[in-house]
């Protein structure tokens, strides 16, 4: 124990200090091994006292964690038992005998450059945030300026000057705090390249997600800002927006989805499963006299009166009660669907009832969407097709949806169809109108033209006699891949028909994309990447985020428009040659000659206010899904590539 005796002797020097507090905490049981006289006077603590008598436990645990990572941890507290705005230095002590302890040294705080920077931020933004983070994108670190007072033992705000890496901060935000359903989108939003790009484009931008508050989640807004007064760094503020009405990109998208649902179904209701109350989004004219809102049991009773079968009545009550729906939708079930014989129309008729969770948005966590559809005609057609026993295997579960098309009249019937697409059959009577709507609503823009062309009746009729199956692969706006099979048919009377089969193809395409990623590392050798769509005359920027290529519109104007010429960063003297290289005549010759790549040099700016530098441009020519494209990759000619 000679080490400890030496330690006690050194501590005697500080016993009479009246402006310096020091205490040493055992790493084994969190009790004080030593404290100087000032600590005893201000907190009535002695050797053997619990550290909670001297210091906030939440802050103590965080300080220990940081100290274990770096050996020493320095920060500033706004309020403590030893006064306001105090410097804190935490060090880890390990004696040769194996005793582990943490020493806390509390001294007066002196304003410095970091303090001035912090005060600038507080003066500009105020302190009405749960967190304020200062991000140095060049160094790749994040400093927490303010942390919240969240009850419990945390009774003061703290200012930390010991930064953590951006990757660590980002990982904690995503894995420890974000709702599981928001993590993927938050991972994309907090990507460093995305942060820089959005700030260059807008100056500041915000994103909302659900953040953990113990056992519950609160909607939280992160806002990134560039402050002119703080050079080379950006600020991220965090505030609780639970219950607020926001116009964020996420909510605008959700509102559009709800509006689309309202148009798609004959009727739609919003059920509050916690309060057993409903409100009408779109009334069902056939359920005459239904109150616009009220107790949900009343709505169920009205619907039950239109179901003549007693067994189906009981199933309705058991399946669609607020409690039953809450239990079902809180598990792995995406939606609850039932079909019942009904007396809504004269003669034999059927209704379909579907309940599903709405898109994630504020105030909708305990609600579900309830829709009704008249499926009498669908049932009739399904029975008719079954009687004819037409291609029984297409009814197997492996297919997403199947349509039977009359190529002469343009009429169609579904043999199998996902619930979310049933409204298409109700609203659009011809296959041309239905697939035109489907293409606009669900097919990714780059694939729409070829999708519609491949489904044109003229194109399908041209192959009706060879009975050859054709297939096309396209991508949806939900970022899934679908393979479309087209089977042209003609009966003994020469009547032209076709079967359309839509098959999930995402797994296959994902594997193809993964195999391409090994080649994508070559993209790191280039400073700028673009994709030119010859047919639309549009140019898109490409960014590789480490996992996949992200395509975004670089300019809203056409490549050969006057507006584009004003915005493009290429030197005016070099621009005519750049546009000539991408002219239709030149590209026609390149594709006809089988050219795969060409290289040219142009001067361009690397930033709006920078000088022109010489860049090497590589033009790669390729065809994708029948469409010709040019991949443009630019690299600073003076940059050394390792």
Q: Which residue, of 108, 124, 157, is where some domain finishes?
A: 108
563 within a domain of the structure (yes/no)? yes
Same domain, 481 and 495: yes
642 within a domain of the structure (yes/no)? no
Same domain, 421 and 309: no
> CB neighbours (10 Å) of residue 515?
9
Same domain, 104 and 169: no
495 within a domain of the structure (yes/no)? yes
Number of domains, the chain: 5
Instruction: Name the more confident of 244 and 316.
Output: 316
Using alpha carbons only, give the angle 109, 34, 42 rounded to the nearest 5 degrees: 50
Contacts 24+ apart (CB under 8 A), 78-85: 78/156, 78/157, 78/158, 78/159, 79/155, 79/156, 79/157, 80/55, 80/56, 80/106, 80/156, 81/42, 81/43, 81/54, 81/55, 82/21, 82/38, 82/39, 82/42, 82/106, 83/108, 85/109
Residue pair 209/185 in contact (Cβ under 8 Å)? The answer is: yes
Using alpha carbons only, give the angle 353, 358, 364 rounded to the nearest 5 degrees: 125
Report residue 34: phi and psi, to 5°.
Answer: -165, 145
Residue pair 233/134 in contact (Cβ under 8 Å)? The answer is: yes
Classify 450 as helix, strand or coil. helix
Domain holding 200: CATH number? Answer: 3.30.450
Same domain, 328 and 401: no
Same domain, 551 and 592: yes
The pTM for the full model equals 0.35
Same domain, 73 and 98: yes
Same domain, 331 and 219: no
- For the stretch 339-379, pLDDT in tens is 888 876 666 788 888 888 775 555 566 788 888 877 777 67
Share of the chain above pLDDT 90, in %: 5
Among candidates 451, 448, 421, 638, which has minimal Cα distance to 527?
638
Lowest mean pLDDT among 96-105, 287-296, 388-397, 619-628: 388-397
641 within a domain of the structure (yes/no)? no
Torsion over CA of 196, 200, 202 and 207, rounded to 10 degrees? 0
Instruction: Name the more confident of 532 and 95.
Output: 532
Determine the Cα–Cα distance for residues 67 and 72; give it in Å rounded to an integer.
5
From edge to edge, which strands make up the β-sheet containing 32-35?
32-35, 21-26, 100-108, 86-94, 72-77, 158-159
Same domain, 397 and 301: no
Determine the Cα–Cα distance for residues 73 and 56; give it in Å rounded to an integer.
16
Classify 17 as helix, strand or coil. coil
The residue assigned the tokens 């697409």 is: 421
Determine the Cα–Cα distance for residues 350 and 340; give it in Å rounded to an integer.
6
- For the stretch 547-569, pLDDT in tens is 556 677 767 678 888 888 888 88
User: For the chain, what is the mean pLDDT?
Assistant: 77
Domain holding 569: CATH number? Answer: 3.30.450.20
606 within a domain of the structure (yes/no)? yes
Give the model's pLDDT for residue 494: 61
Residue pair 602/500 in contact (Cβ under 8 Å)? The answer is: no
Same domain, 118 and 234: yes
The answer to whether residue 409 scores a pLDDT higher than 70 is yes
Give the model's pLDDT for residue 158: 46
- For the stretch 195-243, pLDDT in tens is 888 888 777 777 888 888 877 888 888 888 887 777 778 888 888 877 6
Give the model's pLDDT for residue 359: 57
Give the model's pLDDT for residue 348: 73
- For the stretch 46-63, pLDDT in tens is 989 999 999 988 889 888
Same domain, 184 and 117: yes
Give the model's pLDDT for residue 11: 61
Q: Which residue, of 504, 534, 565, is where some domain finishes?
A: 504
- For the stretch 134-166, pLDDT in tens is 888 788 888 887 776 554 333 334 455 567 888
Q: Which residue, of 307, 339, 374, is where some domain finishes?
A: 374
187 within a domain of the structure (yes/no)? yes
Same domain, 387 and 370: no
Task: State how beta strands 627-636 and 612-624 pair.
Answer: antiparallel
624 within a domain of the structure (yes/no)? yes
Same domain, 357 and 423: no
Determine the Cα–Cα distance for residues 383 and 476; give it in Å rounded to an integer.
31
Determine the Cα–Cα distance for residues 574 and 332; give it in Å rounded to an integer.
58
Classify 233 as helix, strand or coil. coil
| Six-digit token string for 473 | 């692969």
Share of the chain above pLDDT 70, in %: 75
Instruction: Name the more confident of 362 and 87.
Output: 87
Instruction: Name the more confident of 264 and 536.
Output: 536
Residue 605: in which H helix or E strand, if any? strand 597-605
328 within a domain of the structure (yes/no)? yes
Contacts (Cβ under 8 Å, ≥6 apart) of 468:
488
- For the stretch 265-318, pLDDT in tens is 567 788 888 889 988 877 766 565 677 788 989 888 888 888 888 889 999 999
Domain limits at 86? Answer: 2-108
| Six-digit token string for 226 | 């560039």
Beta bridge partners, 612, equal 605
């Amino acid at each position: 124990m000679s080490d400890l005796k030496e330690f006690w002797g050194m501590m005697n020097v500080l016993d009479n200090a009246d402006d310096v507090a020091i205490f040493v905490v055992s790493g084994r049981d969190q009790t004080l091994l030593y404290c100087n006289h000032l600590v005893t006077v201000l907190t009535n603590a002695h050797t053997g006292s619990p550290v909670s008598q001297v210091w906030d436990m939440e802050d103590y645990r965080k300080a220990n964690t940081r100290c274990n990572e770096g050996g020493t941890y320095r920060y500033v507290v706004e309020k403590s038992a030893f006064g306001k705005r105090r410097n804190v230095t935490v060090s880890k002590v390990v004696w040769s005998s194996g005793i582990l302890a943490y020493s806390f040294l509390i001294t007066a705080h002196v304003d410095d450059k970091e303090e001035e920077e912090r005060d600038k931020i507080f003066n500009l933004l105020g302190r009405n945030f749960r967190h304020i983070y200062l991000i140095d994108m060049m160094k790749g670190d994040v400093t927490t300026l303010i942390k919240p007072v969240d009850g419990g033992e945390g009774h003061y705000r703290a200012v930390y000057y010991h930064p953590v890496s951006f990757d660590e901060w980002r990982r904690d935000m995503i894995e420890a705090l974000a709702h599981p359903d928001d993590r993927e989108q938050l991972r994309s939003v907090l990507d460093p390249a995305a942060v820089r790009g959005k700030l260059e484009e807008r100056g500041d931008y915000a994103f909302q997600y659900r953040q953990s508050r113990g056992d519950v989640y609160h909607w939280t807004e992160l806002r990134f800002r560039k402050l002119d007064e703080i050079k080379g760094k950006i600020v991220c503020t965090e505030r609780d927006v639970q219950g607020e009405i926001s116009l964020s990109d996420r909510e605008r998208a959700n509102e559009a989805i709800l509006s689309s649902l309202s148009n798609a179904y004959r009727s739609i209701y919003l059920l509050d499963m916690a309060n057993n109350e409903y409100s009408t989004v779109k009334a069902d004219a056939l359920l005459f006299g239904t109150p616009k809102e009220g107790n949900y049991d009343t709505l169920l009773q009205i619907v039950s009166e239109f179901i003549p079968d007693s067994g189906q009545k009981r199933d309705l009550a058991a399946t669609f009660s607020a409690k039953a729906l809450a239990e079902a939708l809180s598990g792995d079930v995406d939606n609850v669907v039932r079909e019942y014989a009904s007396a809504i129309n004269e003669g034999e008729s059927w209704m379909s009832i579907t309940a599903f969770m709405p898109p994630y948005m504020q105030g909708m966590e305990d609600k579900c969407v309830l829709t009704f559809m008249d499926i009498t005609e669908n049932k009739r057609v399904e029975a008719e097709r079954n009687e004819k026993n037409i291609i029984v295997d297409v009814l197997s579960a492996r297919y997403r949806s199947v349509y039977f098309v009359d190529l002469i009249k343009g009429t169609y019937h579904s043999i199998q169809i996902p619930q979310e697409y049933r409204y298409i059959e109700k609203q659009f009577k011809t296959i041309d109108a239905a697939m035109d709507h489907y293409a606009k609503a669900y097919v990714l823009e780059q694939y729409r033209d070829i999708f519609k062309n491949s489904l044109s009746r003229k194109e399908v009729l041209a192959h009706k006699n060879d009975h050859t199956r054709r297939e096309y692969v396209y991508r949806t706006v939900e970022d899934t891949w679908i393979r479309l099979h087209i089977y042209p048919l003609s009966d003994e009377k020469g009547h032209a028909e076709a079967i359309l089969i839509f098959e999930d193809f995402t797994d296959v395409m994902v594997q193809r994309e993964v195999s391409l990623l090994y080649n994508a590392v070559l993209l790191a050798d280039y400073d700028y990447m673009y994709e030119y769509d010859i047919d639309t005359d549009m140019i898109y920027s490409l960014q590789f985020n480490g996992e996949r290529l992200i395509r975004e519109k670089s300019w809203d104007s056409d490549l050969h428009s006057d507006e584009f010429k004003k915005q493009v960063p290429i030197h005016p003297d070099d621009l005519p040659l750049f546009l000539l290289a991408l002219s239709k005549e030149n590209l026609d010759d390149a594709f006809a000659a089988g050219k795969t790549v060409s290289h040219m040099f142009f001067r361009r700016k690397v930033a709006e206010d920078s000088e022109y530098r010489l860049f090497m441009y590589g033009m790669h020519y390729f065809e994708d899904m029948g469409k010709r494209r040019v991949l443009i990759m630019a690299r600073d000619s003076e940059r050394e590539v390792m």
